[in-house]
Structure formats: structure tokens, C-alpha cells
Amino acid sequence: MGRPEGHIWYFGNYCPGEYSENEERPMNSLVRSAVFRLAHVQVSIPGPAGERSTLVLKRGTCDVKLACPVSPNKQAPHTQDEIYVIVRGRGVLLHDGKRDSFETGDLLFVAAGVEHRFEAFTEDFALWRVFYGAQGGEVPSHTTTNGTCNHG
């Protein structure tokens, strides 16, 4: 089934309806919001071929997955900006030459093109991964001379 731009898609076996358990299903075009319950989404991981993530939402440039990575975590730089919301567990994010620890509840940001990966993470590690914006990433519109963002 194709995935037209501008539609919201549910995947896995957590969305009730007329579709089979693992078939993707379009939401009614009138639906403009949704709640994605971790308990329902995580049952589709691992996938039939051992996949460690599942696509939850695709709308415009926004692409959201639930992921439960395993070691070793190998990633290539992505073409869009990326946000991670840590659902459970803790570990270390290697990014742009830095090492930062994270834990449940933390929000991580990685700009398009930045090399990154997770290390030393707990067995229960799970996260929401959100790609968004233009290919190549978005450029901050307001920066100070030292490169930090103005938040006011």
C-alpha cells in the first residue's frame, strides 16, 4: 500500500479497525489528533524479521517511530533533524564528538548530518524517534554571536 503525503498512518497491531493485525491502516482524514499508547505500540517490537523499531506516525515531514535498540547501535547520519524522547532506560549518546549521558524522560536533539549513536544503554532502553523538517535540516533563525539560540 502506498503512503500519500499528508496522511497519518498507524502501523502494527494496536489500532482497532477493519485491517489485519500487522497491516498498516490510514486514519480517517477527519482525525486531526491521536494518542499513541506505549503499551500498545511496543507489542510490535521485535517485528517479524527482528525489527527493533516500528513506524507509528507519518504526516508531512514528520516521521515517528518507537525503537528498542540493541547493541551494537550503528547509525549513519540522517538527512533530517531528529528528536529522541527517552521512554525508559539510560545510556550514552555519542554525537558530534561529544559523549552525553541520558535517562528516562530526557529529550535529545541531533541535527541532520551529525554522526551519532547510542552506547552503554540498559537492556530496557526504549525511545520515541522523531524525524522532521526539510532534507538537510532546519537552520536556526535566531542565533547569538557565540552560536547559541535565543529563547525569548
Radius of gyration of the chain, Cα coordinates, nearest whole angstrom: 17
Does the pTM surpass 0.85? The reply is no
- What pLDDT is recorded for position 19? 39
Q: Is residue 142 part of a domain?
A: no
Q: Is residue 18 part of a domain?
A: no
Residue-wise pLDDT tens digits, 48-61:
999 999 999 988 89
Q: What is the CATH number of the domain that holds 90?
A: 2.60.120.10
Residue 135, H or E segment: none
Residues spanned by the domain of 127? 36-132
Cα-Cα-Cα-Cα dihedral sign, residues 122, 123, 124, 128: positive
